[in-house]
Amino acid sequence: MTHRFTARTVCGLDDPEQDDCVLAGLAESDDEGAFSLMFMCDFAEPDTQEIALGFDTHCLVTPDQNTAYGCVREVEMEGDLLSVTLDPASLTALGLSDPRIEITLAAPPADVTRMRTVLAEILAYGRPEARPVVKNL
């Protein structure tokens, strides 16, 4: 069953002077137990070790720090609905049961615009064959 949630808090961070990595985050709320998704990548191009380990692409983190690299297959934005389709092989690592996630964006418009810009940057990072299909982002 598709996982659905409303993101009332979103962010887009990509300042190498202030941030550890490029991050686009979406969360139900600021509460620690709220469902969230964090899309991340490094500022620098992947190095030899990252390539060897398969860490040369985007990363997705779900609650409880469940993590998978290169797992996003498609992202589509339609109105205030962001749809994410994941590689089914990544579901166990992410602690999810369905490869489709639908997020209704209910955050301030400026925050949503910023998150969309940074998310597009993250999804274009790394090896080309791991980049997802991106529609209307």
136 by Cβ neighbours in 10 Å (0-12 / 13-18 / 19+) ranks as exposed
Mean pLDDT of 58-67: 95
pTM of the model: 0.95
pLDDT one-digit tens code per residue, 12-62: 999 999 999 999 999 999 888 899 999 999 999 888 898 888 899 999 999
Q: Residues 7, 111: contact at Cβ < 8 Å?
A: no
The Cα-based distances of 125 to 40, 82, 118, 122, 137 in angstroms read: 9, 19, 11, 5, 15
Question: How high is the pLDDT of residue 14?
Answer: 96
Does residue 51 contact residue 58 with C-beta atoms inside 8 Å?
A: no
> What is residue 45's predicted lDDT score, i.e. its pLDDT?
87
Residue 67: burial class (beta carbons within 10 Å; 0-12, 13-18, 19+):
middle
Q: Where are the beta strands (DSSP E) in 72-137?
A: 72-78, 81-86, 100-105, 133-135
